[in-house]
Chains A and B, each alone.
Chain A
């Protein structure tokens, strides 16, 4: 929230199409995260990045890809290999030190 912007808010996709979700931050924090949220399952980590040009797979990375070419941006691509992509996607940044995660407003992806 505040310094984290996710877009689009809602996205519809046909099966077989790749889509890219945007996450931008102006808070100058290094670590950024992507989570997937499904009803009753809480948040599951897709990818995270601790620093520019570096990222690690989370628990459910299959069918997703990311890049971190700039500190401010951490886009997530949902590929056609993701078998069940309909979900709510949340981007977050980590406040330094003993900090917490700050979340964006989320992007809801629906596959038609």
Chain B
């Protein structure tokens, strides 16, 4: 079965420290990969995507993600966390043959002052 896994329900980091939110996927072919952020009672906002090419993708608000094909991973990173980064983060994979998206269960990021 196709799936996306986010192994950490919650990640805690101090402001100013680097952060990593992990994601692995099991989707056939060469799926497109995405990260989204969600604030309470809001819709999901697109952060970045990997389609092809450079394994390091840069996105909005200083976030970046590293694609690793051999490990089927797509981890979200930021060099210096802000308190305002505290939110729920979702990883997703798109099976472009069928326009279907598979979402991870989400990781709550807590950035403490």
**A contact set with B: CB distance below 8 Å:** 1, 4, 6, 31, 33, 35, 40-43, 45, 48, 50, 88, 90, 92, 94, 98, 100-106, 108
A50/B99 in contact, CB under 8 A? yes
Distance from B109 Cβ to chain A, minimum over Cβ atoms (Å): 15
Residues of B that sit less than 8 Å from A by CB: 9, 32, 34, 36, 41-46, 49, 51, 90, 92, 94, 96, 99-101, 103-106
Given contacts A40-B9, A41-B105, A42-B103, contact A102 B46 (CB under 8 A): yes
Q: Are A106 and B41 in touch, CB under 8 angstroms?
A: yes
Q: Which of B34, B43, B105 contacts A100 (CB 8 A)?
A: B34
- On chain A, the residues within 8 Å of B103 by CB distance are 35, 42-43
Asked if A42 and B90 sit within 8 Å, CB to CB, the answer is: yes
Question: When A103-B43, A106-B42, A108-B41 are in contact, do A43 and B90 touch as well, CB less than 8 Å?
Answer: yes
Q: In angstroms, how far is the closest chain B Cβ from the Cβ of A95? A: 9
- A40 near B43 with CB under 8 A, answer no
Given that A98-B51, A100-B34, A100-B49 are known contacts, is A42 also in contact with B43, CB under 8 Å in the complex? no
Q: Are A94 and B106 in contact, with the CB atoms below 8 A?
A: no
Q: Please indicate the chain A residues that have their CB under 8 angstroms from the CB of B94 in the complex.
A: 100
A-side contacts of B32, CB under 8 Å: 98, 100
| Alpha-carbon distance A43/B51, docked complex (angstroms) | 22
Hey, which chain B residues are within 8 Å of A88, CB to CB? Answer: 41
Q: How far is the CA of A35 from the CA of B32 in the complex (A)?
A: 19
A24 → B minimal CB distance (Å) = 14
Instruction: With both chains docked as a complex, state the minimum distance between the C-beta of B90 and any C-beta of chain A, in angstroms.
Output: 7
Task: Chain A residues near B51: list those with CB within 8 A.
Answer: 98
Contacts of A108 in B (CB 8 A): 41
